[in-house]
Structure 1
Amino acid sequence: MPALWTLTGRSIAVSALALALAACQSMRGPEPVVQANIPTGYLANANGPSIAEQGYKEFFSDARLVQVIDLALNNNRDLRTAALNIQKAQQQLRIAENNQLPTIGASGSILRQDTTSAPKPFTTYDVSLGVTAYELDFWGRVRSLKDSALDDYLATASARDSTQISLIGQVSQAWLNYAFANAQLKLAQQTLVAQENSYKLNKKRFDVGIDSELPVRQAQISVETARNDVANFKTQVEQAKNLLNLLVGQSIPENLLPQQAVIQITNNQAFSTGIPSDLLYNRPDIRTAEYQLSAAGANIGAARARLFPTISLTGRAGSASTDLSDLFKSGSFVWSLGPSLDLPIFDWGTRKANIKISETDQEIALSNYEKSIQSAFREVNDALATRMHIGERLTAQKRLVQATNTSYKLSDARFKSGIDSFLTVLDAQRSSYTAEQNLLLLQQADLNNQIELYKTLGGGLKTNSSDPVQYPASSSQQKYHKEDVVK
Structure 2
Amino acid sequence: MMPIRNLLLMTTALALAGCNLAPRYVRPALPVPAETPQGPAYRPAADTGDAAALAETSWQVFFTEPRLREVIALSLANNRDLRLALARVEQARAQYRVQRADIFPSLSATGGATYQKSPLGNVQGGGVGAGAGRFDIYSASVGVSAWEIDLFGRVRNLTRSAQEKFFAVEENRKASQIALVAEVATAWLTMAADQERLQVARKTEAAFRQTLELTQARFRAGVASDLEVRQAGTSHDRARADIAALTTQVAQDQNALNLLAGTGVAQALLPEALADKGVTLDRLPGGLSSEILLHRPDVAAAEHQLIAAHADIGAARANFFPRLSLTAALGTISLGLSNLFASGSENWSVAPTANLPIFDFGRNAGNLQGAQANRDAMIAQYEKVLQTAFREIADALARRGTIDDQLAAQRSLRGNSEAAYRLSEARFRAGVDGFLNTLDAQRSFYAAEQDLVATRLVREANAVEVYRALGGGLN
2:242 paired residue among 229, 251, 257: 229
1:26-41 equivalences in 2 (<5 Å):
26-32=20-26, 34-41=28-35
Label 1:14 to 1:267 Cα distance change in 2 as closer, same or farther (>3 A): closer
Q: What is the identity, as a one-letter code, of the residue corresponding to 1:71?
A: L
- The whole-number CA distance in structure 1 between the counterparts of 2:167 and 2:423 is 66
- The whole-number CA distance in structure 2 between the counterparts of 1:134 and 1:319 is 22
1:123-272 equivalences in 2 (<5 Å):
123-265=136-278, 268-272=281-285
2:56 paired residue among 53, 69, 72: 53
- Native 8 Å contact 1:319 1:334 kept in 2: yes
1:432 paired residue among 418, 422, 445: 445
Aligned residues: 456
Structure 1 stretches lacking a partner, 5+ long: 1-5, 464-487
- The whole-number CA distance in structure 2 between the counterparts of 1:330 and 1:274 is 81
1:279 paired residue among 265, 281, 292: 292
TM-score by length of 2: 0.89
- Equivalent position of 2:112 in the other structure: 109
Does 1:346 find its partner at 2:340? no
- Native 8 Å contact 1:127 1:319 kept in 2: yes
- The whole-number CA distance in structure 2 between the counterparts of 1:442 and 1:325 is 91
Label 1:142 to 1:385 Cα distance change in 2 as closer, same or farther (>3 A): same
Does 1:291 find its partner at 2:304? yes
Deviation, 1:115, is: 6.2
- Native 8 Å contact 2:153 2:318 kept in 1: yes
- Native 8 Å contact 1:72 1:247 kept in 2: yes
Cα shift readout 1:273-307 (whole Å, capped 9, x = no counterpart): 58525513421111111111111111111111111
Does 1:75 find its partner at 2:88? no
For the aligned residues, what is the CA RMSD?
2.4
- Equivalent position of 1:98 in the other structure: 101
Of the structure 1 ranges 77-86 and 349-358, higher mean CA displacement relative to structure 2 is found in 77-86
- The whole-number CA distance in structure 2 between the counterparts of 1:56 and 1:288 is 21
Cα shift readout 1:382-419 (whole Å, capped 9, x = no counterpart): 11111121122122222222232233233333433445
Q: Give the percent of matched residue pairs that are identical in Structure 1 and Structure 2.
A: 38
Q: What is the identity, as a one-letter code, of the residue corresponding to 2:398?
A: A
- Equivalent position of 2:126 in the other structure: none
- The whole-number CA distance in structure 1 between the counterparts of 2:25 and 2:341 is 56
- Equivalent position of 2:347 in the other structure: 334
- Native 8 Å contact 2:421 2:441 kept in 1: yes
Label 1:384 to 1:15 Cα distance change in 2 as closer, same or farther (>3 A): closer
Deviation, 1:153, is: 1.3
- Residue 406 of structure 1 aligns to a residue whose secondary structure is helix
Cα shift readout 1:25-72 (whole Å, capped 9, x = no counterpart): 211022255133322222343344212232223322222222222222
- Equivalent position of 2:395 in the other structure: 382
1:319 paired residue among 321, 332, 338: 332
- Residue 36 of structure 1 aligns to a residue whose secondary structure is coil
- The whole-number CA distance in structure 1 between the counterparts of 2:5 and 2:94 is 36
- Residue 148 of structure 2 aligns to a residue whose secondary structure is strand
- The whole-number CA distance in structure 2 between the counterparts of 1:383 and 1:322 is 82
Of the structure 1 ranges 113-122 and 29-38, higher mean CA displacement relative to structure 2 is found in 113-122
- The whole-number CA distance in structure 2 between the counterparts of 1:73 and 1:10 is 54
- Equivalent position of 2:411 in the other structure: 398
Q: What is the identity, as a one-letter code, of the residue corresponding to 1:26?
A: N
Label 1:378 to 1:289 Cα distance change in 2 as closer, same or farther (>3 A): same
- Native 8 Å contact 2:48 2:288 kept in 1: no
- Equivalent position of 2:428 in the other structure: 415
